[in-house]
Amino acid sequence: MKPRSSHGGPELPPEPTQAWMTDARVKTYRRGETIIQAGSELGEWVAISSGAACLMAKVAGNSSVAVAALWLGDVIGWNSPLGKLAARYEVNALVDVVTISIPRTQLSQSPDSHERGDTALLHAATEARLQDQITMRLAGNGFQRLVSVLATLASALAPPLAETTPRSRLPLPVAQAFVGQLSGLSRRQTWIYLGQLTEAGWVSTARTKVVLEGLAAWLALMSEVEREGLACIATVELCSETLMRLGEAGAAAW
């Protein structure tokens, strides 16, 4: 597994070459396919090697709600933030996803050494990424939540930084309704806020689809929010000013 190509995310250890990885199995899941069923027994340690997935939580009956997105380097199997022995969330592929998996019996029997330290770092980074998204959903106003979700999806789905230019755009592989659900917003609220961002030039919409404009600025946005606070994305005007500044800084660096 490659080191996390994190657009502002935590650093992870380099590609493991230790013995505990030699028996890892590689699996591929197509877009929309379920990777882990909620409530299922977690018999394997599983990490995302490429692609991005969405966590879904059951809320009532057969209904569920999107909770967070996870991507390269995140751990979603046994003894992960998603559950120790049983999965608390359903995990679905947002795009094609490749995972690596190791039977939990193999890891639990291995000695407590540097190799186990690698898995601990991966778990901690996944926990931080999950909690950041949940915290934003609780702390931000509706517009801030939508903006943070768009920035998170940009990080999860963007091509490598080497392929990203200040004017790059990113079509999201999800519908507007899903973006709203991940933001905790109604469809009408989602439509209104996306319309405001479209007028400002940072989003394009076509039917139910969403395209992020100025991808480099979106990729830098959440790090800026961590430094400056939620106020810098409190309104469409402030958010646009922040994205413009980040875009100009990226263009200068480019």
pLDDT the model gives residue 133: 93
Contact 142, 193 (CB under 8 A): yes
pLDDT the model gives residue 127: 93
Query: Rounded distance, CA 39 to CA 202, Å?
Result: 39
pLDDT the model gives residue 17: 45
Structure tokens at 209: 């689809």
What is the reported pTM?
Answer: 0.85
Contact 36, 76 (CB under 8 A): yes
Residues of the chain with pLDDT under 70: 1-22, 108-117, 161-166, 250-254
Query: Rounded distance, CA 52 to CA 14, Å?
Result: 20
Name the residue among 132, 204, 145, 209 with its Cα closest to residue 178. Answer: 209
Tens-digit pLDDT profile for residues 136-170: 988 889 999 999 999 999 999 998 765 666 678 99
pLDDT the model gives residue 58: 85
pLDDT the model gives residue 239: 98
